[in-house]
Amino acid sequence: MAVAALVPAGLAAQGPPEGPGTPETTRLPNGKNQRDEILKAEYQQNMKDAHDLADMAKSFELDLEKSDRFVLSLPLLKKLDEMEKLTKRIRGRMRR
C-alpha cells in the first residue's frame, strides 16, 4: 500500500501545517524578506570578523616569534582571549 493512499488528497495539497513553531515570512517596509536580510547582515558580519580573526592570528604569530620560548607575555594571552571571543561570536551567529 502506498503512503500517498493513506494521506487524504486535501491534506497532501496543502503543504506543511502552519503553527506556533513555523516561521512566518515577515516583510520589511521595502518589501524584502526580513529573514533574508538578517541572514545577509550576519554573513557580512561573519566575513568581517573572520578577516579580523585572521589579522589577529597573524599578529599573534609575529609577536610569538619575537618572544622568549620560556616566557609568554600577558598581552599575548589577552590576544588569545580576544581571538577566542571572536571565534565564539562567529560560531554563535552560524548556529542560528
pLDDT digits (tens, 9 = 90+) for 73-93: 899 999 999 999 999 999 999
- pLDDT for residue 55 is more than 70: yes
**What percentage of the chain reaches a pLDDT higher than 90?**
52
pLDDT band of 56, cuts 50, 70, 90: very high
C-alpha gyration radius of the chain = 24
Long-range Cβ contacts of 34-43 (<8 Å, 24+ apart): 42/93, 42/96
Range of the domain at 45: 31-96
User: Average pLDDT, stretch 48-77?
Assistant: 91
In-domain check, residue 56 = yes
In-domain check, residue 88 = yes
In-domain check, residue 87 = yes
The mean pLDDT of the chain is 81
In-domain check, residue 73 = yes
In-domain check, residue 59 = yes
- Quote the number of domains for the chain: 1
Q: What are phi and psi of 33, to 5 degrees?
A: -70, 125
pLDDT band of 60, cuts 50, 70, 90: very high
In-domain check, residue 10 = no
In-domain check, residue 12 = no
pTM for this prediction: 0.65
In-domain check, residue 81 = yes
Identify the pLDDT of residue 32. 87
Q: Report yes or no: 42 and 90 within 8 Å, Cβ to Cβ.
A: no
